Amino acid sequence: MKMLKFFLIILITGYTMSCNSQTSSGKGGLIGDAEEYRNTISSRHKNPFTKISREKFNQKIDSLIAITPQLSKEKFIVGLFKINSQIEDEHTILFPENEVELPFRFELFDEGMTIVASDSANQSFLLNRIVSINNTPWTRIDSLYRTLIKRDNPSYFKFFEAYYFNNVELLKGLDIVNNTSGIPFQFLSPAGDTISAEINAIRKTPNEIWIYANPYKNLLAYTKKNNYWYQYDEKSKILYFNYRHCSEDDNESFRSFNKRLFQTIESAKPEKLILDFRFNGGGSSRILNPFIEKIQKSYLNDSDRFFILIGRKVISSALMNVIDLKKTTKAVFIGESTCGNINHFGELKSFELLNSKIRVTYSTKFWKNWAGHDGSFHPDIETGNKLSDFINSYDKALETALQK
């Protein structure tokens, strides 16, 4: 099963756009984009009309087309997002190629939307929560984003709201901001102070160097970026295995890695195995098969010894692996509910809308992974995602597994 990685979905096309018209060098302008979106989704998606009828879908596209000559590009994009969200397919996603963005990366913690990375000029705002943007309070901004992203799965919404939150085109299309410079922000600092500042958007570049908040340096889960890696602690006799991507690592095949992993298990006889899936957004579900086959027969396949950490980024093939492990092992699952639904559309293809510069992914297959189970996959032990824990470099899900 294929999953396009979000940060690789970039298409460079040219366009000429005025503020309040749909003129463009591409065929049909923005109206042509709306028609292309309608035709491609209707004809190539496996079944886009399970949650919205074909008739209602076409009515909404027609309504958008009718007002498009009066819309800015940003408002057109917001209109298309609203229609797309009603398909309610986790893999049918719009990726606008915005030329400028806020100088931040965000994560939605239980306490609110928080800056977790910045450019070098805005480091002082790291770990600050959003109170308001351009005098629009956070609660209002959150309600506006709920019109853009499917909401049947709360974890999916939380992930994508944070993912899109620095997109200036969406902020402009939602009438939250008017300009790309001098944007009034109010932040709440970790110390509880309210801070007012004017923030300038930055030009989006592929090689932008982001500075991440200090807690990332102190948390085990973030210490390596390999597709898969493990660490054994002799003192506690706990083996931690981080499975970050469902794809082969450039430095070592998974079969070779899995052989080393189980050699360590056989020689060290760990008392506990913790498998961390929390940052895995998919790839090929087959990659993990050698591990699943071995762990099923291992002495570690016990509810007191085998723990799996899951979270809001788990989707697609990673979720399929999680379901397989749920069915075939005695593991205890800890963390947050998954971004992906248990039974879902997938097997992605994509196309581009020339004038609005949007890459659209869509599904070509339906995966019935577990009959009789709907919605997100929920952990046995829910730990939430508290900013206060993160600031203190406390990984509640991992600590819960360590203490069981």
107 and 240, same domain (yes or no): no
Tell me the torsion sign for CA atoms 73, 78, 83, 89. positive
Question: In this structure, is residue 354 part of a structural domain?
Answer: no
Within-domain flag for 262: yes
pLDDT tens digits for 230-270? 999 999 999 999 999 999 999 999 999 999 999 999 999 99
Q: Which of 177, 212, 247 is the last residue of a domain?
A: 212
pLDDT on residue 367: 92
Confidence of residue 28 (pLDDT cuts 50, 70, 90): confident
Q: Are residues 395 and 253 in the same domain?
A: yes
**Tally of domains in the chain:** 2
| pLDDT at residue 203 greater than cutoff 60 | yes
What is the residue whose two structure tokens read 């000029």?
121
The pLDDT assigned to 23 comes to 37
**pTM passes above 0.75:** yes
Provide the token pair at 26. Answer: 């591409």
Q: What is the pLDDT of residue 236?
A: 97
Q: Which of 187, 212, 237 is the last residue of a domain?
A: 212
Picking from 102, 109, 106, the residue whose alpha carbon sits closest to that of residue 183 is 102
Percent of the chain with pLDDT over 90: 90
Residue where one domain finishes, among candidates 162, 186, 212: 212
Higher pLDDT, 5 or 219: 219
Please give the pLDDT value at position 16.
28
Q: What span, in angstroms and rounded, lies between the C-alpha atoms of 203 and 180?
A: 10
CATH of the domain at 205: 2.30.42.10
Q: What is the pLDDT, as a whole number, of residue 157?
A: 98
- Position of tokens 């506006």? 144
Say what the pLDDT of residue 210 is. 96
User: The tokens of 228 are what?
Assistant: 């898969």
**Per-residue pLDDT band at 27 (split at 50, 70, 90):** low
Q: Give 150-185 as a DSSP string.
A: --SSHHHHHHHHHHHTTBHHHHHHTTS-S-SSSEEE
Q: What is the CATH number of the domain that holds 229?
A: 3.90.226.10
Find where tokens 């940052």 sit.
Answer: 279
* Integer CA distances (angstroms), 183 to 23, 165, 250, in order: 27, 14, 42
- Chain segment 340-370, per-residue pLDDT in tens: 999 999 999 999 999 999 999 999 999 999 9
41-62 confidence digits (pLDDT tens): 999 999 999 999 999 999 999 9
Are 129 and 20 members of one domain? yes
Same domain membership, residue 179 and residue 98: yes
**Residue 116 near residue 105 (C-beta atoms within 8 A):** yes
* More confident position, 18 or 266: 266
Residues ≥6 apart with Cβ < 8 Å to 62: none
- Of 2-16, 85-99, 227-241, the least confident: 2-16
Q: CB-based contacts of 241: which residues, under 8 Å, 6+ apart? A: 228, 229, 230, 261, 273, 274, 275, 276
Q: Which range marks the domain in which residue 394 is found?
A: 224-340+376-403
In DSSP terms, 167 is beta-bridged to 101
Residues 40 and 181 in one domain: yes
